[in-house]
Amino acid sequence: MRRLALSLVLLCLAAAARGQGILGRQAVVPTGKTAASDMTHEETVVRTAYAKFAYASELEVIGHLALEAGGSPVPVESRGLTSDQRLALAQVSFSLSDFAVGNLRDIINRKAIDLVPPPIGEMLSSVTPSYSYSDAGRGTTWVSLQPRWQPASVTSPEVLNATLGELHEMEWHSQAPTTQWQRYASYSVTVTFQGKSRGPYKALFVFGHDDKGNEMVMPEDATTDSVALATVLAVHLFPEALVRTTLRTYPVVANWVSAHRSFSATCSRGQGDVCCDLVQLQCGLGSGDVSDGLSTPLPGPPPR
């Protein structure tokens, strides 16, 4: 599920395959968020994307550890590492600041690289694997992120001179032809992963509505994978398999669920998603959803 990235990311990086149908699509409405009272809707969505990105990276590792506890082989690159070491290596941290929110028409004639500068040296790319687990006929699936640093490509002269309006004609309109792009959120990002940091650098989210009135979101970050940011906004990330199946009986899973359980009153129950602290940019599992999952009886042994 990869396709070409949009606008500056595509032109800067000459990316190969990118996620199909993710960029420019409707986002899951953020729920269970802990945010400052004066935070705009646009900033809330942006912060949700980065918080869920960081969470999905750790979910990738705990998912592997759960399956390995059940007998799956340990990947070669992870052999010799403890569970804690592997989880630590998956941690991504973001710092977001300097938000500016307004009407897109006010910045449409600005150079794109002023708002979405090309990456320097390396960018944080990501694949988006999905997994399934069947427990006596009860099937569950989950989506995660697998980030990695990769070398950045040289920026072409065309990109250096392109305006946001030109990128709109080239990419945004073709990706979501029924969407009217109206608002933006510009901000600064610092990302840290596996001992490397990039930033602060500028990035952009563009907001609009399609012909059915649904809100549409377009991330534009040339250093942190825009497709991954769009993906985590568009999907639910509550790991049902870790609380409703026999995977929950493994200590590594039980300990992780306990450590990531959120008792915040703002967590929405039954939404199938995580709840996020948008100040700390960290997501957790709603306590009510965890309790509901753990109270589900496990499948008994097959009949004789």
3-state SS, the chain, equals CCCCCCHHHHHHHCCCCCCCCCCCCECCCCCCEECCCCCCHHHHHHHHHHHHHHHHHHHHHHHHHHHHHCCCCCCHHHCCCCHHHHHHHCCEEEEEEEEEEEEHHHCCCCEHHHHCCCCCCEEEEEECCEEEEEECCEEEEEECCEEEEEECCCCCHHHHHCEHHHHHHHHHHHHCCCCEEEEEEEEEEEEEECCEEEEEEEEEEEEEECCCCCEEEEEECCCECHHHHHHHHHCCCCCCHHHHCHHHHCHHHHHHHHHCEECCCCCCCCCCCCEEECCCCEEEEEHHHHHHHHCCCCCCCCCC
How high is the pLDDT of residue 20?
Answer: 36
pLDDT: is 170 or 217 the higher one?
A: 217
Kindly report the CA angle at 155 between 6 and 174, in degrees rounded to 5?
Answer: 20
CB atoms < 10 A from the CB of 119, how many?
Answer: 22
Distances (CA, A) of 89 to 69, 93, 122, 148, 198: 19, 11, 18, 11, 17
Burial of 263 (0-12, 13-18, 19+ CB in 10 A): exposed
Kindly state the average pLDDT of the residues 69-95.
Answer: 93
Residue 18 pLDDT: 36
Is residue 28 predicted with pLDDT exceeding 70? no
Judge whether residue 11 has pLDDT over 70.
no
DSSP β-bridge partners for residue 147: 126
Structure tokens at 99: 């938000």
Q: Which residues pair with 276 in a beta bridge?
A: 33, 283
Over residues 191-230, the pLDDT tens digits come to: 999 999 999 999 999 999 988 888 999 999 999 999 999 9
Q: What is the pLDDT of residue 219?
A: 94
Q: Is the Cβ–Cβ distance between 210 and 216 less than 8 Å?
A: yes
What's residue 138's pLDDT? 72
**Contact status, residue 180 vs residue 160, Cβ threshold 8 Å:** no
Q: What is the mean pLDDT of residues 176-180?
A: 80
Examine residue 118 and say whether the peptide bond preceding it is cis (omega within 30 degrees of 0): no
pLDDT at 136: 66
**pLDDT tops 50 at residue 302:** no
For residue 231, CA distances in Å to 20, 59, 88 come to 10, 14, 23
pLDDT of 19 strictly over 80: no
